[in-house]
Amino acid sequence: MRRKKSVITSRRGHVSHPPRRHKPLLGAGAPGIHPRPTGARPSVGPAARPPSSDRPQAPLPDVPAPTASSVDLSVDLAPGRPSALVLANPILVAAGTFGYGVEYAEIIDVEALGAICSKGTTLKARSGNPPPRMVETPAGLLNSIGLHNPGVDAVLERYADVWADWQVPVIVNVAGDAVEDYVGVVRRVDGVPGIAAVELNISCPNVGRGGLQFALDAAAAEEVTAAVRRSTDLPLIVKLSPAAQDVRAIAVGIERGGADAISAVNTLPALAVDRENRRPLLGNTYGGLSGPALKPIALRIVYEVAQAVKIPIIGIGGVTSLADVLEYLLAGASAVEVGTAVFADPGLPIRLIQELGGYCGQRGLGSHRELVGAALPRGRRERPSTKGAEYRA
Ligand SMILES: Cc1cc2nc3c(=O)[nH]c(=O)nc-3n(C[C@H](O)[C@H](O)[C@H](O)COP(=O)(O)O)c2cc1C
């Protein structure tokens, strides 16, 4: 079958920046609500304020110059794979927050994105969790969608032809309850035109191991990664959970299993309580926390994992600004995914691409890649940081 090539696109036009204004995180683009044209930045709560520390950070220019044409924003997320996964830029949209891409195609230039991660896809259709499924929290969002999706065959039937016509790589996000589920989905998408890579959501209960999440157990994470690796030559990304006690061990298992890249992180299990009804607010009791509240945790995980593995890392969690993108790159991420913030501000990822190019141009950087890992301890491969999971106040 015809396979879509990794293409480097270049769309670096001028962008106008709307004024900053506060808006709830759960905006028009939330699942079930039609996204509306790009506008103001989302409300990001306290986490978005300049960090108050003993050493204040220099403020970033509010409106960086348009991307300098000499800046190369491309990035290869599967450098070890013959097919590679070369993106035009390091700004992706996160699984479950951008539908299948087609929902946004009329309001933003989706083909200018680095890549699109599809909604979580399972072997069979799933109706998801009972409502309510989402609630906003200070600087965050709790969701318990429960992998509502029509199943892999329907996803391919509805969207693969559209994806094949796009230049932007589409990464299918895959979920399951057993190793065979992941392998089954990946076998179906393997070789289908329009699919550039797969991202495994391993934050699912592993029925084979009594409900323990694959993402919390290094052996299980390695096992599912290796099984999928044997089933496809597609670039393979595996997504970490922030709930793991020591993510480095999980990341090493994933790398050993043959993944080309690691994405970090998924949502963090959390709870909201309905005071009036005196019970958990979400229909599924627990939800996953995303948004700016998650960012410092995700940043710590990227920083730790970058010292434990050699494969590229994609930072995810609370990206709402150029400052967030830069911090993830400096902590060791080669790219970032934008998730919750897209609900309120669908144009954000495109602006970030241009702002990152502008920043690099202003600083005389030939590529954002020069920033990757710059905040890591020197000699990181030899002397990994021991802080993090062992952190003591
Ligand atoms: C409504 C919603 C649905 C999500 N669905 C998925 C999913 O299907 N698969 C997955 O791997 N992650 C899913 N995620 C997690 C996001 O991809 C991302 O890892 C997380 O939200 C953190 O990024 P953010 O803070 O930028 O949103 C979902 C997140 C939200 C808010």
Strand partners, 91: 336
Residue 138 has pLDDT above 60, yes or no: yes
Is any atom of ligand 1 closer than 6 Å to the C-beta of 241? no
Is any atom of ligand 1 closer than 6 Å to the C-beta of 349? no
Known active-site residue 117:
no
pLDDT at 35: 46
In angstroms, the first-to-last Cα distance of the chain is 55
The three-state secondary structure class of 250 is: helix
Is any atom of ligand 1 closer than 6 Å to the C-beta of 340? yes
Q: Which of 15, 152, 171, 204 is catalytic?
A: 204
pLDDT at 240: 97
Strand partners, 72: 367
Between 205 and 71, whose confidence is greater?
71
Distance CA 125, CA 231 (A): 22
Residue 195 has pLDDT above 60, yes or no: yes
Residue 68 has pLDDT above 80, yes or no: no
Question: Distances from the Cα of 127 to the Cαs of 12, 131, 145, 151, 348, in angstroms?
Answer: 40, 11, 9, 10, 30
Show the domains of the chain with their CATH numbers.
Answer: 81-129+145-269+289-371 (3.20.20.70)
Is any atom of ligand 1 closer than 6 Å to the C-beta of 353? no
Task: Please report which confidence band the pLDDT of residue 372 belongs to, taking 50, 70 and 90 as the band edges.
Answer: very high
Nearest to 25 by CA among 323, 283, 319, 276: 319
Q: What is the DSSP letter of 160?
A: H
Q: Locate the ligand 1 atom nearest the alpha carbon of residue 141 and give its number.
A: 31
pLDDT at 116: 98
With beta carbons less than 8 A apart as the criterion, state whether 27 and 98 touch: no
Contacts of 392 (CB under 8 A, 6+ apart): none
- Among 266, 268, 294, the mutation site with the greatest number of ligand 1 atoms within 8 A of its Cβ is 266
The three-state secondary structure class of 298 is: helix
Alpha helical stretches, state H, 232-294: 247-256
| Closest residue to atom 28 of ligand 1, CA basis | 96
Report the DSSP pairing between strands 86-87 and 134-137. unpaired
262-304 tens-digit pLDDT: 999 999 999 999 999 999 999 999 999 999 999 999 999 999 9
Distance CA 152, CA 158 (A): 10
pLDDT at 5: 42
341-350 tens-digit pLDDT: 999 999 999 9
Nearest to 243 by CA among 285, 301, 305, 286: 301
Once rounded to an integer, what is the mean pLDDT over residues 69-94? Answer: 95
| Closest residue to atom 31 of ligand 1, CA basis | 340
- Of 204-208, 286-290, 318-322, the one with minimum mean pLDDT is 204-208
Reading the block at residue 96, the tokens are 């479950």
230-262 tens-digit pLDDT: 999 999 999 999 999 999 999 999 999 999 999
pLDDT at 208: 75
Task: Please report which confidence band the pLDDT of residue 204 belongs to, taking 50, 70 and 90 as the band edges.
Answer: confident
- Among 25, 91, 97, 327, the mutation site with the greatest number of ligand 1 atoms within 8 A of its Cβ is 97
Cis bond upstream, residue 132 (ω within 30): yes
Is any atom of ligand 1 closer than 6 Å to the C-beta of 129? no
pLDDT at 20: 35
Question: Distances from the Cα of 44 to the Cαs of 48, 65, 142, 370, in angstroms?
Answer: 5, 24, 14, 28
Residue carrying structure tokens 């627990």: 286
Once rounded to an integer, what is the mean pLDDT over residues 348-356? Answer: 98
Contacts of 379 (CB under 8 A, 6+ apart): none
Once rounded to an integer, what is the mean pLDDT over residues 192-212? Answer: 87
Distance CA 359, CA 362 (A): 5
Once rounded to an integer, what is the mean pLDDT over residues 186-205? Answer: 95
2-61 tens-digit pLDDT: 444 443 433 333 333 333 333 455 554 454 433 444 433 333 333 333 344 566 676 675
Task: Give the whole-number percent of the chain exceeding pLDDT 70.
Answer: 79
Tell me what the pLDDT averaged over the chain comes to.
85
Report the DSSP pairing between strands 140-143 and 134-137. antiparallel
Q: Locate the ligand 1 atom nearest the alpha carbon of residue 149 and give its number.
A: 8
Give 3-state DSSP helix, strand, coil % of the chain, rounded to 5: 30, 20, 55
Once rounded to an integer, what is the mean pLDDT over residues 215-219? Answer: 95
- Among 173, 267, 289, the mutation site with the greatest number of ligand 1 atoms within 8 A of its Cβ is 267
- Alpha carbon of residue 225 to chain centroid: 18
Distance CA 138, CA 292 (A): 9
Please tell me the distance between residue 320's alpha carbon and the centre of ligand 1 in angstroms.
14
Distance CA 311, CA 258 (A): 10
Is any atom of ligand 1 closer than 6 Å to the C-beta of 118? no
Rg (CA), the chain: 20
pLDDT at 371: 98
